[in-house]
Amino acid sequence: MAAPMGTPRARIPTGVKAGDVIEIRTLITHPMETGQRRDTAGATIPRDIIRSFVARFEGAEVFRMDLHTAVSANPYIAFPFRAERSGRFEFVWTNDAGETARLTAELRVG
């Protein structure tokens, strides 16, 4: 049974001007269980990781990342983005069970 997807968060810089390259930061709470540990009874704890992360800006994919068992719990993902205009980001995390967590955030370019 997969752990519930935690609360996702994102940090979008403020005071952005057109043409600025900014850093988008995201974080989600998730145990990222590798499937290699055992519980107190000796049974293998099933693998349960977030497999992918996708960031879209105004519907266009701007960043994608595949995650693997070596990624720590509560994955923090940051990536650069050239801000040309204001718009909406959508972030999607998908786990082994195909469940998703979604978050939207606004970018304001002045």
pLDDT tens-digit series, residues 25-71: 999 999 999 989 999 999 999 999 999 999 999 999 999 999 998 89
Whether residue 75 is contained in a domain is answered as yes
Strand, helix or coil at 81?
A: strand
Domain total in the chain: 1
Whether residue 50 is contained in a domain is answered as yes
The pTM score is 0.91
Gap between the Cα atoms of 37 and 43, Å rounded: 8
Pick the closest to residue 88 from 68, 74, 102 (CA basis): 102
Whether residue 2 is contained in a domain is answered as no
Q: What is the CATH number of the domain that holds 53?
A: 2.60.40.10
pLDDT band at 1 (very low <50, low <70, confident <90, very high): low
